[in-house]
Chain A
Amino acid sequence: MSITLTKEKITATVKIITEYGGTGIFKCVQCGACSAVCPSIKAGFPVLCRLLIKKLLIGQLEEIIEEPSSWACQACCRCSEVCPQGVKPQEVVFAFRRFQANELAISTASTTSLIDLHATGHAAHTTTYRELRAGVGLPEQPPTTVSDAKGLQEVQTILENCLMGELGFY
């Protein structure tokens, strides 16, 4: 299947991504340094950094709206550190993710994280830290939503009142 390039699609896509914060997208020269250090690409999520920017720059937006790769970004920002052109690829990934979220095109790979976020206030939550914390003389629970019921309720109120609340995860 070939891709049809149109000026309108490219302009609209770049505008959306720029407005969502991916302001460096036009600086990209497709060198690939970002992708060389991306831990999520290593983990099998190819449409990140260089390849995501490439797709967006040819106006592919609706076509990749279900793409799960963006939800695998760990926000480590190594891409932005090594980028020779100041693109800040991580910002582009997040801009695309904001677009996906606003279109309610949230990857099924991320639903667990969203449910965890609602339940605990953390997208990724484990309990293995308790022993470690106790071992160095800290309270078992960190001073976050995990140990703050009022705080957790505030997070839940926000989540339930934003667009994603309509998805019925919580």
Chain B
Amino acid sequence: MGKIGVYVCHCGTNIAGVINIEALRQYAETLDDVTVARKDLFMCSDSGQEQIRRDIREGLVDRVVVAACTPRTHEAIFRSVCESAGLNKYLFEMANIRDQDSWVHSHDPEGATEKAKLVLASAVGKARWLQPLDDKFVEVTDAALVIGGGVSGCFAALELANMGHKTYLVEKDPSIGGVMAMLDKTFPTNDCSACILTPVMVDVAAHPNIELLTYSEVEHLEGFIGNFTVTVRRKQAYVDWQACTGCGDCAAACPAKADDEFNLGLNQRRAAYIQFPQAVPKKAVIDMNACINCAGRKIGTAPKINAKTGEPVLAPCEKACKAGAINRSLPRDAGGELLRLNVGSVVVAAGFRVMDKHNFPAYAPQSPNVISALQLERLISATGPTGGALLRPSDGGKCKTITFVSCVGSRDERHHTYCSGICCMYMIKQARLLKEKYPDLNIYMHFIDVRAGGKEYDEYYTGARRLGINIMRGKVGGLQTIPGDRLRVLAYDIDQLESVEIETDLVVLATAIEQPESSQKLARTLGLQLCGSGFFRELHPKLGPVETASRGIYIAGCCQGPKDIPYSVSQAKAAAAAAAVPLAQGRVRIDATLSEVDKELCSGCGICEPLCPYHAITRVERGGRKYAEINIAQCKGCGVCTAACPSDAIALHGCRDEQILAQIAALTA
């Protein structure tokens, strides 16, 4: 039998504050095959690690058990300690006496110490049966996929491309740019959003390593880190993008109208349209839901012939297009086309949406003069429906008074309990921009409290007070419509202990950032988890903020949680760096704690195949008989197949029968 070294960690006071460490160490010495039992204030510190290495090198131990925090964060650390001292890293076992003991039994030190002895005995029991294992490796496709072409997706794609990796950027809209392209200016420096973002969008489109797939959505993803196969649907634009020059003549000629999504319904666009003036790629699409098929020109039908001239009768869009990009006679598949991409890693930067005002009946959503903050961005943007003039949506009249209402749908258990994080700052920005442009404008802002925690953010906020913007503590209770399309704000001043009523021309609601329903579908497609709040779940909130539970898939931007532009860009670059690691390595290491089929024992019954949650098992036929085969890159070592196999033909390395039975024996001794 082996020589087992036991190392008990104080974890500062995390463990030692509850569990009697010395009693546990002495107990370890009484266990069979334990040759060394030591303790340290922090076993993962330099000195703690070196102690383990020394014992291995001196031949005192050939199995290592560390009783400490949790394998979730520290298993890999101690495994590499073993490896660096020349011991197979799978001859290590961890006894979890912090997360599963001292933290949960902090009121019962004696009971916790007794439990720690059992947990340790179980780990030692298992360690006796550990076997050396070898890591596996799989080759990697040197290409990346970025989902979402907002500012996060653009920067993730640029970083990956600059590192030399082929990168596909998939965006659902006709143009990249996302929400940032809709903004007027950006806090805390008041940079013009279009001026700083448009060159980035152009760089993305021009980069030799980036293949831009706009007006496209990811339909399906299969495979595993290093080897994903992605199915992307390119939506039907009804315009030949190879020929389209982005002149906009089709839009000018088109008589059919629909709400302009880019201006959030504040005006209308045509059925044939370019998403916005600085779109990249600048290509037209025809929205078939709005198209009225002028001149009976249904797609894929021959034109009527003018009886007098003998000329075909064309639709205005066709006639207007000098580049010949619109030919309604051509049959076009309404479903667009499907593309298959092979990539090694994926960055999800799917963005967010803001809540619609109609969710809030107390805030008079029926009034056109109640708008969302994103609508205000369009209203004050030079490319917006009023060319940047602050005019009331109801009648195009001037505004004398404007009111900002914070926390609409955020910090509210009826909608979203989280803080949307950026509303305080963008409202202050909007108020400052308006005050600079219209010094006589009366601005009232109502906050529960002002959250301005970023770099140079509080200075930006105090600057707003100095400009004479009225800031009041207290959440707005409701809005009433009053004659003249005006609104009465029912507010409260916490500092004065008085209710306050303000008559105003325009009310801006800071509606919450949230995930659209479509992100649930995307999460299912990609096999990712969502948090309770609906955002994509990261692997670890501190140490794995861009990784996910699915290796090879990374997240960035507001799909992970509400955040501003600096934070989004930082996270995008971090996600790109993480996604580039497997591509740069060329092959990825796979943990050896996987299931393995004994071909001699396997009867080929196939029970395991549909049970595998990771689709890792296929039945193959070789030498005239069938047996199950496990794709090691997809296997997560969950053990479902091992438990289900009637022939006992599947072993789960690291959790073999004799190892588990030894643990049970120790726990029940």
A residues with CB within 8 A of B:
29-38, 41-42, 46, 50-51, 78, 81-82, 84-86
Contact = CB atoms under 8 A, between A and B. Distances in A.
Contacts of B499: 35-38, 41-42
A86 B413 contact: yes
A65 B395 CA distance: 53
A29 B477 contact: no
Contact of A85 (B362, B413, B474): B413
Nearest to B411: A84
A33 B413 CA distance: 14
B413 A31 contact: no
B412 A36 contact: no
Interface string B214-247: 0000000000000000000000000000000000
24 contacts: A29-B411, A31-B475, A32-B448, A32-B474, A32-B475, A32-B492, A33-B474, A33-B477, A33-B492, A34-B477, A35-B492, A36-B474, A36-B475, A36-B492, A37-B477, A37-B478, A37-B490, A38-B499, A41-B492, A50-B492, A78-B478, A81-B362, A84-B411, A86-B413
Given A36-B491, A81-B362, A29 B448 contact: yes
A81 B363 CA distance: 13
B498 interface: yes
Interface of B: 362, 407, 411-414, 448, 473-478, 490-492, 494, 497-500
B362 A82 contact: yes
A31 B448 contact: yes
Nearest to B416: A84
A51 B414 CA distance: 23
Contacts of A31: 407, 411, 448, 474-475
A41 B491 CA distance: 12
Q: Which of A33, A34, A38, A41 has the most CB of B within 10 A?
A: A33
A48 B122 CA distance: 59
Nearest to A49: B492
Contacts of A84: 407, 411-414, 475
Q: Which of B411, B473, B497, B500 has the most CB of A within 10 A?
A: B497
Contact of B473 (A32, A42, A78): A32
A82 B474 contact: no
A32 B494 contact: yes
B333 to A, nearest CB: 48
B208 to A, nearest CB: 51
A128 B394 CA distance: 42
A32 B476 CA distance: 8
Given A35-B499, A51-B497, 6 more contacts: A33-B475, A33-B492, A37-B499, A42-B499, A46-B498, A84-B413
- Which 3 A-B pairs give the minimum distances between C-beta atoms? A36-B477, A37-B477, A84-B412
A50 B498 CA distance: 11
Contacts of A35: 474, 477, 492, 499
B666 to A, nearest CB: 44
A80 B305 CA distance: 68
Given A32-B448, A38-B499, A82 B478 contact: yes
A82 B494 contact: no
B33 to A, nearest CB: 53
Q: Which of B475, B476, B491, B497 has the most CB of A within 10 A?
A: B475
A59 B500 CA distance: 28
B477 A85 contact: no
A137 to B, nearest CB: 35
A85 B499 CA distance: 20
Contacts of A81: 362
